[in-house]
Structure 1
Amino acid sequence: MPIINSQVKPFKATAYHQGKFVEVSEADLKGKWSVVFFYPADFTFVCPTELGDLADNYAEFKDLGVEIYGVSTDTHFTHKAWHDTSDTIGKIQYPLIGDPTHVISRNFDVLIEEAGIADRGTFVINPEGQIKIVELNDGGVGRDASELLRKIKAAQYVAAHPGEVCPAKWKEGEATLAPSLDLVGKI
């Protein structure tokens, strides 16, 4: 089954969030735009650069009505230890979900079974719980929060303006397209 436009599958997990352990489930992803951001492991090299980039841009995500959920197959205890010992991770204000049972990683089809860790997967979920954007990267290739913000703005625009689509490199405020027979072969 294609993952785009599919519903997020059920899960329950514990996250480290703002100094506390909190329960998180697929129900928390509904009613707002969400980003589920998988990364291989805590205490690694590329991962803190990505999570720090999201933290640096977190206010802009919140301004768009988006919550971020960082997920790795580490435990919530490991997330706390990393948060407490890394200046970069210490600035994170969004939940870090532990997935030691691999349920969430399997639900999103990002688990590297033989390694027990997740691929670098990014999933943008609309308020109805549907996956609208998927990005998968090789373990050595970090992601960019500004590009993710651009994609979210485009997804939100398309959701609010049925019949319009956002072309490549579209930025907020730029022209969109209204697909029609008249455009075929003219772009």
Structure 2
Amino acid sequence: MLTVGDKFPSFNLTAVPGGPEGLKGQFVQISDETDAGKWKVVFFWPKDFTFVCPTEIVAFGKLSKEFADRDAVVYGVSIDSEFVHLNWRLHHDDLKDLPIAMLADIKRELTEGTGVLARDAGVALRATFVVDPQGVIRHVSVNDLSVGRNPQEIIRILDGLQSDELCPCNWKKGDDFIKV
């Protein structure tokens, strides 16, 4: 699995765009060059039409403005196709207003390239990568398939990384930094 300090892999995936455009059935291509110069939060979920996944996706979506305020873009990725993503958005009330893109990694290239393919299940683990504007991974976390993650914690970590300071345990934006 890729880790902190590694270069995030190149990718070019078909996606259901976020917002109202995502419900029109017109897909977009999103690559590692899309949103160049921004921080990227790339999170993987196992499969569409499951139970834990929409809770996480909706939670990331609700924080999309907070991520944007930090010059970060959020991409959600699973091994499902763009057609499955679209169908899920159209038929799941909580996903209809989703403001973030859902990327289709049907060949599992990005999932395998990051090392987050659950070998036995053949799906992505619940992995989250925070990638700096130069394409370097600055944070990675992975949860078991049965346990959802906390997107608010990713905001906290992004704030710490962007501060370029020493941040103590449980540090939050506005708290004091460690002085050496």
Asked whether the 8 Å contact 1:29–1:127 carries over to 2, the reply is: no
Identity, % of aligned pairs?
Answer: 37
Deviates more, 1:74-83 or 1:2-11: 2-11
Segments of 5+ residues of structure 1 without an aligned counterpart are 159-163, 180-187
CA distance in 1, matches of 2:66, 2:147: 23
Once the two structures are superposed, what CA deviation does each residue of 1:87-139 show, in whole Å capped at 9, x if it has no partner?
Answer: 11112111100001000001111012332210000000011111000010011
TM-score, normalised relative to structure 1:
0.88
Q: Where does residue 178 of structure 2 map in the other structure? A: 177
Once the two structures are superposed, what CA deviation does each residue of 1:33-84 show, in whole Å capped at 9, x if it has no partner?
Answer: 1100000000000000000111111111111111100000000111000011
CA distance in 2, matches of 1:28, 1:6: 19
Q: Residue type matched to 1:175 in 2?
A: D
1:28 counterpart SS class: coil
Pairing partner for 2:66 from 54, 60, 68: 60
CA distance in 2, matches of 1:21, 1:55: 18
Once the two structures are superposed, what CA deviation does each residue of 1:13-39 show, in whole Å capped at 9, x if it has no partner?
Answer: 101103231111111253101100000
Q: Residue type matched to 2:16 in 1?
A: Y
Deviates more, 1:17-26 or 1:36-45: 17-26
Q: Where does residue 12 of structure 2 map in the other structure? A: 12
1:169 counterpart SS class: coil
Deviates more, 1:10-19 or 1:70-79: 10-19
* 1:86-165 alignment runs, 5 A limit: 86-158=92-164, 164-165=165-166
1:30 counterpart SS class: coil
Asked whether the 8 Å contact 2:39–2:133 carries over to 1, the reply is: yes
Asked whether the 8 Å contact 1:125–1:131 carries over to 2, the reply is: yes
TM-score, normalised relative to structure 2:
0.91
Q: Which consecutive segments of 4 or more residues in structure 1 shift more than 4 A?
A: none
2:145 counterpart SS class: coil
CA distance in 1, matches of 2:144, 2:119: 15
